[in-house]
Structure 1
Amino acid sequence: MTMKQTLAVLTVWGMGVAAATGAQAACLDDAQAGALAQHYAAKTPAPNFPALSDEDGACTRAKFNVLLATRLGKVVGYKAGLTNPAVQKRFNTDKPVWGKLYEGMVQPGGFTVEAAFGARPLYEADMLVRVKSAAVNHARTPAEVLEHIDQVIPFIELPDLIVQAPPQLNGAGVAAINVGARLGVAGQPVAVPLTRGERYRLLDALERMEVQLTNNNGELLASGKGSDILGHPLNAVVWIAQALQKENITLQPGDLVSLGSFSPLLPPRPGLDVTATYQGLPGAQPVQVRFK
């Protein structure tokens, strides 16, 4: 069954229900999840739903991901969201959330995209890592993570918070919409060094680096430090590996992991070029996205 057919069936099942998301918080039913996926596909804002519990957020995410997979296909990795305390505060939570990255979401540096690439499009400074070994699932420190990844990749994420009023989402609501995964632009990978001394230097650089977003004129749009993500950006990998295992998912070689926001979430506009630089991270080249 195609995604269009699936959504049509779900809409018939839930006719009239999706408009009445109800006063009580609960896992979105099949019709509501189908309507959410329809809005995602159409890039139109979906109605907000009530604040969800963690369990109902996870339940909704699972339904939404089934529908996304029908359209988007293969999972290529995972994204940790709300890993920055400043972003957590915006969504009234004190813990991260996770979502899935699908094939085609990660585009090469210099990518040009419509400013209206989603229903509620945003951009942020982020970073990817690539898994080298499934042993990363047992890592408990950034140093242990570094032993089991082979690339650190500059990344501007282009999330889409989908709903009409994103500030009304709580943390579980952000999880429910697959953490807004839509697109992202990846720069040149930085290879993880082989020697212990070089790895220690990379660990220190990741924690201390300053990540900056600048516009066409080189003007600063936003900035953050490596330590803004859970004290060290690789702690996001520790967290997401443990969170995924609770749902019987394990990170595998080749998987990409998006670590979260070094910067505030910002709205794109036509004609804007955004460049992310990673000052203090040896070998890291700037990555750019263009909005038209």
Structure 2
Amino acid sequence: MRLVTSFAAALIALPATALAACPEPAEIERFAADWAAKRPTKGFAVDTLADAGCARDRIVALLERSGGKVVGYKAALTAKAVQERFKANAPVAGILLDTMIVPDGSKVPAGFGARPLFEADMLLVVKDEGINGAKTPDEAMAHISAMRPFIELPDLALAPGEKLEGTQLLSVNAAARLGVVGAVVPLPPGPETVRMLAETRIVMTDGTGAVLGEGLGSATLGNPLNAVVWLAADLAASGRKLKAGDLLSVGSFSALLPPKAGQRVEVRYEGLPGTPKVSVTFE
């Protein structure tokens, strides 16, 4: 991936508020170069969520200037087990670019990142901008048009031994690297769909059918739609608004596992119409 050669020039287009407490441009450039080369890298010295959010936005600005386009967002650390792993007590938000999205059935290198992992996830598709004012799952459901199966392929990026807790995860764009996306599953608005999303069982298996992990929709803040409500509010705090067509990753329904060459992974959604599924093969 080609990155801009001077990050200082890229800063001109950023809002003044983004220039608050944040890692130095040279540190952002260093991280971006390592990220592009898939090299484990050094973390940022970020002590607050504001610092970490600024680092995230500067990284994404570089990726956008290299040809990426924002197509959605991810709510990370929405499941209790994942929060415990990263010593966090709240989610963090990442930004998804079109260059990160690959289609169902894709073959992806097992070494797709510096510290690659995979997990069962789910995308919800924004129907309209009314989602930005939603405060409850029922209100959010009125502004969601569909679900798409999703195997997220995050990259922890930081070298082993580097501190990697919630704040550091936010600073590296919530580890967003790639994701395998399945077909659109339309979702009718209403309380039945809200309940169905919470009760859906998400099952991840390998090529032999052995279960690698599973969880209920309720694993993400009690309902995937709660992750959407949280994400809209968190993004609003940094000046971003959701729009029609945005893809929203709601979080983990399984443990994060390292990929192996030759491994096939499938995720299915038991309880949703047609039992949708999505798969990826690691090379």
TM-score (norm 2): 0.91
1:260 aligns with 2:251: yes
| Length, aligned pairs only | 272
What is the correspondence of 1:131-280 to structure 2 with a 5 Å cutoff? 131-165=126-160, 168-193=163-188, 199-280=190-271
Structure 2 residue aligned with 1:32, among 27, 31, 49?
Answer: 27
Structure 1 residue aligned with 2:85, among 81, 85, 90?
Answer: 90
* Alignment match, 1:20: none
* Range that drifts further, 107-116 or 70-79: 70-79
**CA-to-aligned-CA distance 1:52-105 (integer Å, 9 cap, x gap):** 321211121122122121224211111111111110111111000011111121
Q: How far does residue 7 in structure 1 lie from its aligned partner after superposition?
A: 5.8
* Alignment match, 2:15: none
CA contact (8 A) 1:44 1:119 kept: yes
| SS, match of residue 168 in structure 1 | coil
Distance 2:96 2:67 in 1: 10
Q: Which amino acid aligns with 1:143?
A: D
Distance 1:166 1:27 in 2: 22
* Alignment match, 1:103: 98
Distance 1:207 1:236 in 2: 11
Distance 1:203 1:64, change over 3 A: same
Distance 2:138 2:206 in 1: 34
Distance 2:209 2:162 in 1: 29
* Alignment match, 2:64: 69
| SS, match of residue 6 in structure 2 | helix
Task: For structure 1, list consecutive stretches of 5 or more residues without a partner in the other structure.
Answer: 11-25
CA contact (8 A) 1:155 1:185 kept: yes
* Range that drifts further, 227-236 or 101-110: 101-110
| SS, match of residue 79 in structure 1 | strand
Q: Which amino acid aligns with 2:37?
A: A
Distance 1:163 1:109, change over 3 A: same
Distance 1:51 1:5, change over 3 A: closer
Q: Which amino acid aligns with 1:281?
A: L
* Alignment match, 2:281: 290
Distance 2:224 2:76 in 1: 12
Q: Which amino acid aligns with 1:270?
A: A
Q: Which amino acid aligns with 2:230?
A: W
* Alignment match, 1:6: 6
Q: How far does residue 49 in structure 1 lie from its aligned partner after superposition?
A: 3.8
Give aligned-pair identity as a percent. Answer: 44
Distance 2:132 2:141 in 1: 12
Q: CA RMSD in A?
A: 1.9
Q: How far does residue 163 in structure 1 lie from its aligned partner after superposition?
A: 0.7
**CA-to-aligned-CA distance 1:16-51 (integer Å, 9 cap, x gap):** xxxxxxxxxx73211111110001111111123446
Distance 2:40 2:138 in 1: 41
CA contact (8 A) 2:76 2:252 kept: yes
CA contact (8 A) 1:155 1:187 kept: yes
**CA-to-aligned-CA distance 1:216-250 (integer Å, 9 cap, x gap):** 10001111111110011110110010011111111
CA contact (8 A) 1:91 1:167 kept: no
